[in-house]
Amino acid sequence: MVAKNSLPFAEARGDDLAIVDEFASVTFVQVNERVNRAVHALQSFGLGQGDRVALFVGNRHEALEFATAVNHAALVNVPINWHLAAEEVAYILDDSDARVILADAEHGDLAADAAARAQDVEHRIVFGGALDGFLELEEVLAAQSADEPEQQASGATMFYTSGTTGRPKGVVSSLLPIGADAGVVQMLLEGLGGLMQYPRDGRALVMAPVYHSGPFATAAIASALGNTLYFTRKFDPEQMLRLID
């Protein structure tokens, strides 16, 4: 039986595809279990409510799963643009007080350089390949229970501005009350989806990088409404047309 705070649709549509990317296809049940394991892992790190977790990731299922776990563990996602230089990434890690960084191996060298410069990063995790000094995400998840975590509460996401008038500044929306019941986030996303006329139980294509608020919100809202997400690493018009067909 799926517990109260589990992901929507995990029971009703368990074997349906939840996320499809260029590396894997995962069902709603699989995503739910992976999110549960990630919540347990984050809690095992001793993080407290409102602590920051940096996401240095490309468009893959692991990125959305981990972001969801952060939001279920009363923590704050900090998506970081992987086009930045190591010094710029390190600044955001320090300015946000990020205690954890999840890195995509495709940008691993840059992530490792930035994390080495940062002051407060205690836990380094990588997916899509190995990286010196980083734990591998699949091993981190495998060490944890897939059971629904008992302690869950809503988190938030902190996006950094472009920094056109100085250093980038972290911005957290006041719409997401950190520490509220985890169902609050789901209700908010469903409400936003309704206002924006998102379909339910449909399909959504995300080709722009999820470090940006637009694609990140598209993925989160579409997922909350039970859509199957299709991630690509970059925009390619021919690939887009094939996927739409």
User: In the prediction, which pLDDT does 5 show?
Assistant: 47
Out of 41-55, 101-115, 122-136, 177-191, least confident range: 177-191
Tokens of 232: 């690509």
Q: Contact, 131 vs 105, CB < 8 A?
A: yes
User: In the prediction, which pLDDT does 3 show?
Assistant: 40
What is the mean pLDDT of the segment spanning 185-189?
78
Instruction: Give the H/E segment covering residue 229.
Output: strand 228-231
CA dihedral 153, 51, 61, 207 (to 10 degrees): 110
Share of the chain above pLDDT 90, in %: 74
> What are the start-end ranges of the E strands in 183-223?
203-206
For residue 165, pLDDT beyond 80 = yes
Q: State how far the Cα of 55 lies from the Cα of 125, in Å rounded to an integer.
A: 10
More confident residue, 165 or 183: 165
Q: State how far the Cα of 166 lies from the Cα of 179, in Å rounded to an integer.
A: 31
Q: Contact, 26 vs 15, CB < 8 A?
A: no
| Cβ density class 230-242: b for 16+ within 10 Å, e for less | bbbbeeeeeeeee
Q: State how far the Cα of 200 lies from the Cα of 128, in Å rounded to an integer.
A: 30
Nearest to 229 by CA among 1, 79, 4, 7: 7
User: In the prediction, which pLDDT does 2 show?
Assistant: 35
Q: State how far the Cα of 197 lies from the Cα of 199, in Å rounded to an integer.
A: 6
Whole-number average pLDDT of the chain: 91
pLDDT in tens, 192-231: 888 888 888 889 999 999 999 999 999 988 888 889 999 9
Tokens of 207: 């080709």
Nearest to 91 by CA among 120, 63, 130, 126: 120
Q: Is 106 left (phi over 0), alpha (psi -120 to 50) or beta?
A: alpha
How many CB atoms neighbour CB 102 within 10 A? 27
Predicted TM-score of the model (pTM): 0.92
Quick one: pLDDT band at residue 41, thresholds 50, 70, 90? Answer: very high
Instruction: Give the H/E segment covering residue 17.
Output: strand 17-20
User: In the prediction, which pLDDT does 4 show?
Assistant: 47
Q: State how far the Cα of 245 lies from the Cα of 238, in Å rounded to an integer.
A: 11
Q: Which domains does the chain have, with CATH numbers?
A: 17-244 (3.40.50.12780)
